[in-house]
Amino acid sequence: LDAEWERDPIVALNRCLVPDVMSKAEWHDLVMQVMQEVSAARHAAQAQPVPDVATVARHVWARPEEPQQVGGLVGEGVHLPTGNSVPHAPEPRRINMIEAIRRTLAVELETNPRCLVFGEDVGVKGGVHAATLGLQTQFGNGRVFDTSLNEEGIIGRAVGMAMAGLVPVPEIQFRKYADPATEQLNNCGTLRWRTNNHFAAPIVVRIPGGYRKIGDPWHSVTSEIAFAHQPGWLLAFPSNAEDAVGLLRTALRGNDPVIFFEH
């Protein structure tokens, strides 16, 4: 136990600062000041009234009449144009879900300059499932870009971007790959609730769902249901290309974090 105390960060900080930066008396005064601040904060917290259980679920999701103070387009006072801006081909043809998603991302990137698409291989390669094929060429590597192999970092980056007023669209290549980002996903979903609607991070996480019938333990996991139990998240799981367009656009123009499953 004594050895652990020797490695305590405050003890180490004391050795670093005293006497080269401050005297023992100054250190003591600083410690007393911090202890008083912590004690005052504790008493203030204990003096708060008992929460009303009827309001426990308030601010789990966005409420139009109560916008957050920081985060997302709403926090920046930005409003996207309404209406259907999808160009209709003169001779429409059948397309699959991946092409529908690609087209929708292109329209939203063009409509919303704050929209960013990123993840592993989404840039030059166009995604391992080709959902972002050609988007980097069209919109530049500042708005469609590759990341390192780090799902926790991908989601954490997206949360920070959303809090800064951007609309990040991170891609996770396979459902199983999202597991290392579990803590970041949990923090994102509960951010609005934890901060009493002060902060929010409305990101749109794209993940293949039920993607293939055969494969290995890392690419065949289909435990999408786990996200249905994550507070603060909205889930979209379209079954066809038409629904994918509407659901993805709604997610990208909404004010809640969304996990969008595509296949």
Residues 6+ apart with CB under 8 A from 192: 59, 60, 61, 62, 68, 199, 200, 232
| CA–CA gap between residue 127 and residue 99 (Å, rounded) | 12
Neighbours of 230 (CB within 10 A): 16
Residue 235's beta-bridge partner residues?
A: 259
C-alpha 169: how far from its chain's center?
Answer: 8
Q: How many helices (H) and strands (E) does the chain have?
A: 9, 6
> For 78-102, b where at least 16 C-beta lie within 10 A, e where not — what string?
eeeeeeeeeeeeeeeeeeebbbbbb
Phi-psi region of 206 (alpha: psi -120 to 50; beta: other; left: phi over 0): beta
- Residue 148 tokens read as 């390192």
- CA distance readout (Å), 3 to 12, 14, 17, 18: 12, 16, 20, 20
CA-CA distance, 91 to 74, in Å (whole number)?
A: 37
Known active-site residue 219: yes
Which entry of 28, 59, 79, 219 is annotated as an active-site residue? 219
Tokens encoding 99: 């092409």
* Active site amino acids: 219
